[in-house]
Amino acid sequence: MSAPAAEAFGFTYRFEPAVAGAQGEDLTILALHGTGGDEHDLVPLARALAPGAAVLSPRGQVLEGGAPRFFRRLREGVFDLADLAARTEALGDFVDGAADRHGIDRGRIVAVGFSNGANVAASLLLRRPGSLAGALLLRAMVPFEPETPPAPGAVRPVVTIAAGLMDPLVPREQAERLATLLRSAGAEATLELVPAGHQLTQRDLAIGQALLARLSGGPGARDAPRR
């Protein structure tokens, strides 16, 4: 049975516990919806990516004409950087608080973000590099250009950026620049170019499943030699 939405740490959110015995049960997916979505939107995607993973799914706090978002923008693709910085910190604090409340392993949180949700996940990776074990960034842009190179955190997040080759909102150079920035922040970032627009396809699902399967396993499993 799915959990109802809860309120905590300034966010409305949904939490689905891990499913024992199912693939990815050691992970928690931090699900971050696109503009106009809510805390329910990406739960089916998260389940399809890793059926056993717990899902922590907040709703963006900003409303744009009634559409929830994770931070304000001035217009399409032009972000309110002060708001982005503050909202990113608030999201990081929410994750910390929710981890304590729900007994989530802080070292096994993987963000799955779409569009605006991918952008705030990228911002979190640049501001708090050690806060995520990995991330699937679906149709992400560069959220902001850091003034100084971000200091790599203690963990090395494994990140896949899935960019749409025909995406009218996100030019390919944005995804390439984001991969470079994330690498400079200590992430292992891979850019996948998908023959698609802004909307997701089966190929995105397959790319995400491969990432989640890689991140699932015992401590250090992802670095173990492959046979």
Query: Distances from the Cα of 187 to the Cαs of 94, 120, 130, 171, in angstroms?
Result: 22, 16, 9, 22
- Which residue's beta carbon is nearest to the bound ligand MLT? 116
Q: How far is the CB of 82 from ligand MLT (least distance, A)?
A: 15
Q: Which is nearer to ligand MLT, 36 or 51 (CB)?
A: 36
Q: Which stretch binds ligand MLT (CB under 6 A): 7-15, 70-78, 85-93, 149-157?
A: 70-78
Minimum distance of ligand MLT from residue 52's CB (angstroms) = 29
Give strand pairing partners of 11.
8
**Residue 123 is a binding residue for ligand MLT (CB under 6 A):** no
- Whether the Cβ atoms of residue 212 and residue 50 lie closer than 8 Å to each other: yes
Where do the DSSP E strands lie in the chain?
6-8, 11-16, 28-32, 54-58, 62-64, 67-69, 73-75, 78-79, 109-114, 134-138, 158-164, 188-194
- The answer to whether residue 35 forms part of the interface with ligand MLT (CB under 6 A) is yes
Residue 223 known to be catalytic:
no
**Is residue 37 a contact point for ligand MLT (CB under 6 A)?**
no
C-alpha span between 37 and 221 (Å, rounded):
34
Residue 75 within binding range of ligand MLT, rule CB under 6 A: no
The reply to whether 119 sits near ligand MLT by the rule CB under 6 A is yes
Does the annotation count 115 as an active-site position? yes
- Residue 131 annotated to the active site: no
Give the three-state DSSP class for 150: coil
- Specify the long-range contacts of residues 78-86, CB closer than 8 Å, at least 24 apart: 79/119, 79/143, 79/144, 81/144, 84/120, 84/123, 84/143, 84/144, 85/123, 85/127, 85/144
Check residue 164 for interaction with ligand MLT (CB under 6 A).
Answer: no
C-beta of 49 vs 170, nearer to ligand MLT: 170
Among 76, 145, 147, 173, binds ligand MLT (CB under 6 A): 76
Site string for ligand MLT, 169-198 (x = CB under 6 A): x-----------------------------
CA-to-CA distance for 86 and 19, rounded, in angstroms? Answer: 33
Residues annotated catalytic, as ranges? 115, 167, 198
Which residues of the chain form contacts with ligand MLT (CB under 6 A)?
34-35, 73, 76-77, 115-116, 119, 141, 169
